[in-house]
Structure 1
Amino acid sequence: MRFVLHRNDSGYDAERTGFHLLSSHRPDLIVPAATPEEVRQAVARAAAESLPVAVQATGHGVPLPASGGLLITTGRMNAVTVDPATATARIEAGVRWDQVIAEAARHGLAPLSGSSPVVGAVSYTLGGGLGLLARRYGYAADQVRAVDVVTADAEHRHVTPGSDPDLFWALVGGRGNFGVATALEIGLVPVDRLYGGALYFGTDLVETALHTWRGWTGSLPDEMTSSIAVIPFPDIEQVPAPFRGRTVAHVRIAYTGDVAEGEELVRPLRAIGPRLVDTVGELPYTASAAIHNDPTEPAGYFATHSLLRELPPESLDALLGVRGVIEVRHLGGALAKPQGAPNSVGHRDAAYFAAVLSPGLAPGTDPRALRPVHEAVREALSPWATGGRVLNFLYGENAGPDEVRRAYEPADYERLTALKSRWDPANLFRLNHNIPPA
């Protein structure tokens, strides 16, 4: 290893701090890895010294923050190679989605990236990956072809569905529980343009927009992936003028079919009423970040969510009036139709994802004060909830053992704990969304 950072070293705080400012690791040691060999050496040292391991690329989905142990940061491992002949990409552990999008676009291809282009692509994918084209092409995890990983025995392995189907199944969906991924080979899809963008409605149309979108999703083709957020914007200069001081309904559209068909499909949404802003139209996939327009600067936030079997009109009452940002994503389509090599991503039968987010929290904020509001929403949605969770949307305190267990089907979770006993019996990789050994 080139160097190791200790707590009192210059650069320690900058290296450990990721995007999510509310949950920052405070390890004993940090290894800023630039090569797979440095990752292997870090794992070997952690095993020899009985130090639990955490891994961080961009730090968007930080689970329970680590106090002590060894943190491997992977942001320096950022190479992307696209093979247009096989429509695949090899992405290293620290790569962000914007890098993959740009490289794939040169060949008329796209990855199954998420709403934000600055999220780490590898951890996102190994946690499932619920992206912009989800109803058409499924989870990002379904496109994984191979995983390069350092396991707890400090061996660097190239794992494919053929070489070790059990370990591959556990890695793809188990996020960081079975080793430190140094690279993935992923499939790309033949999308260079889509019909998409955002419709923003003002405060007086929020309830109508929410109910109209709910009904609209009942008869959509798989080519249409959409979601809606209700966002209370503060009255400050940093907020764009049309949204300043207003509660806004933000409808997100990504349609991979014909533009004229997309126009016709979106017509009922435009009929809701005047839009504050309407950006829906034909756009290159390289501009797809504008659909959700997620923040790109580090921030503090606390969130909870539920997976729903259905979204009847009365379920929306639990969401309206919430203090915070609410979001509902339409699932189904290809998400419910497993494709590619088997993996451990669970709850494919869910029809909707509903979340509550409290943004703009200062570092050090105690999220427990927000928990009653979040739990009240989840309880109100319980008549329609599957009981499942999405691993990538479990942050901080909400990434505890019970919640992680709920991210998997019961039989799959038992299989994962058994495989954990085989591949990481000491639970070296436990500073994460942890799956303990059986």
Structure 2
Amino acid sequence: MIFPGDEGFDQAVTPWNLAVKQPVRAVAEVGSVDDVIDAVRLARREGLAVTAQPSGHGASGDVADTILLRTHGLTAIEIDAAARVARVGAGVRWGQLQAAAAAHGLTGLPGSSPVVTVTGYTLGGGLSWFSRKHGFASSSVRAFDIVDAEGRRSKVSRDDELFWALRGGGGDFALVTAIELDLHPAPHLYGGRVLWPASRAAEVLEAFKEITATAPDELTVWLDLLSFPGSPPFVAVDSTYLGEDASELLAPLDRIGGALSDTRGPMPLTSLGDITGEPTDPGPGASRAQLLGDLDGILERIMPIDPLISVQIRHLGGALARPSDSAAGQVDEPYLLYMFGLPGVEEKQRKIAEGGRKPFTFLSPDESAAAAFPAGTLERLRDIKRRHDPANVFRSNYPVLAG
């Protein structure tokens, strides 16, 4: 246990987003389930809460009177290739699981970054490159290994109401130490990025609309507006396809002249992070998201991109729009808008994304869980929280009882 003032505390408490401050009582680096049990029981005795952050992604700063658990010591990975099942500890990152699964021609349901942990991402639903085909990552969970609010270990599976809540409702109900999840066959993967000057944005948007209007579930396409310091602005289209070749499906992009680069082609399952090239080291940032029913007037709302660094529009639909028996639910909107910039751009982000629902893992520090769930889902989550953790021992980045 490391306390404020101890050597190494400042480094241990720092989250992924360096702009977020975490006034915790202590930090515990855990390497076993017994360490987790000890921390939970200590917090309960002292009237504190426990916040689990394996890598610090998604931190909101709502951590007063908490013990921060760094679970990156829980790194076990077990693959049953015949059953197409993986069991991973709470500290395993997506790049690590993808490497283990890809050796068997299998894939999990990762997002755009290989350094996000499987557990934190999945507890919040987990919006994957392959969610149009297979749904949220949380839909592929078979079971959770947990430590409950009494400090007891147990396994949560489909016959337990916690199973519904943990699949997309966040980490407010138990401390998850491992997840067992389905893997999916992926004998072929095609993908990459096409990049143009931002002056072609209107043409690229029209091609994006044309592609997404008829895209099969195996194809995922994202549009990006990019403005890096010291560089001119760009527009890009990122794509993945669970198949051998998506050239014909992406043909509208080829009618746009002036491409600066094109990395589309067959690719290994372990290279998903290369498509968007997101940072793999912590840094300060401000982000905001909103689900969109249509793209009418979107460029007028966004342009010029500066002072934002990136604005991304993700095509959703497919399996995401179908009924779900998890807290992540179904997503009726066909698109997701996600913006990122350095601190100071929050006001522009708010003007672009005025209200509207957003996935749990895309919440911003000034938002609450109520922005991620329909009223009925939120009330069910709150009821489960009150019954399974009446002393409020666990606190997720976005507590369901807040706001």
Distance in 2 between residues matched to 1:71 and 1:16, nearest whole Å: 7
Task: Report the equivalent of 1:159.
Answer: 156
Task: Report the equivalent of 1:200.
Answer: 195
Distance in 1 between residues matched to 2:346 and 2:158, nearest whole Å: 41
1:149 aligns with 2:134: no
Where do 1:6-85 residues align within 5 Å? 6-85=3-82
1:345 to 304, 316, 328: 328
Task: Report the equivalent of 1:239.
Answer: none
Gaps of 5+ in 1: 236-244, 362-368
Distance in 1 between residues matched to 2:199 and 2:113, nearest whole Å: 28
Gaps of 5+ in 2: none
Task: Report the equivalent of 2:109.
Answer: 112
Deviant stretches of 4+, over 3 Å: none
Equivalent position SS for 1:81: strand
Task: Report the equivalent of 1:364.
Answer: none
From the superposition, tell whether residues 329 and 110 of structure 1 become closer, same or farther in structure 2 (CA, over 3 Å).
same
Distance in 2 between residues matched to 1:171 and 1:350, nearest whole Å: 23
1:307 aligns with 2:291: yes
Alpha-carbon shift at residue 204 of structure 1 (Å): 2.1
Q: Is the 8 A contact 1:421 1:437 kept in 2?
A: no
1:421 aligns with 2:386: yes
Distance in 2 between residues matched to 1:203 and 1:411, nearest whole Å: 42
1:411 aligns with 2:373: no
Task: Report the equivalent of 1:395.
Answer: 364
From the superposition, tell whether residues 370 and 274 of structure 1 become closer, same or farther in structure 2 (CA, over 3 Å).
closer
From the superposition, tell whether residues 78 and 338 of structure 1 become closer, same or farther in structure 2 (CA, over 3 Å).
farther
Distance in 2 between residues matched to 1:298 and 1:437, nearest whole Å: 27
1:131 to 128, 132, 135: 128
1:265 aligns with 2:260: no
Where do 1:260-409 residues align within 5 Å? 262-312=246-296, 314-323=297-306, 324=308, 325-338=310-323, 342-359=325-342, 361=343, 369-379=344-354, 387-398=356-367, 400=368, 404-409=369-374
1:183 aligns with 2:178: yes
1:246 to 232, 236, 245: 232
Alpha-carbon shift at residue 65 of structure 1 (Å): 4.2
Distance in 2 between residues matched to 1:185 and 1:176, nearest whole Å: 16
Alpha-carbon shift at residue 297 of structure 1 (Å): 1.4
From the superposition, tell whether residues 410 and 347 of structure 1 become closer, same or farther in structure 2 (CA, over 3 Å).
farther
Of all paired residues, the percent bearing the same amino acid is 34
Q: What RMSD, in angstroms, separates the aligned Cα atoms of the two structures?
A: 1.7
Alpha-carbon shift at residue 30 of structure 1 (Å): 1.1
Alpha-carbon shift at residue 357 of structure 1 (Å): 1.3
Q: Is the 8 A contact 1:346 1:409 kept in 2?
A: no
The residue identity in structure 1 corresponding to 2:350 is E
Q: Deviations over 1:37-69 (max 9, x none)?
A: 110110010011001221111112112342442
Q: Give the aligned length.
A: 401
Instruction: Name the TM-score, length of structure 1 as normaliser.
Output: 0.88
Alpha-carbon shift at residue 393 of structure 1 (Å): 1.0
Equivalent position SS for 1:350: coil
Alpha-carbon shift at residue 192 of structure 1 (Å): 4.1
Instruction: Name the TM-score, length of structure 2 as normaliser.
Output: 0.95
1:255 to 241, 247, 256: 241
The residue identity in structure 2 corresponding to 1:228 is L
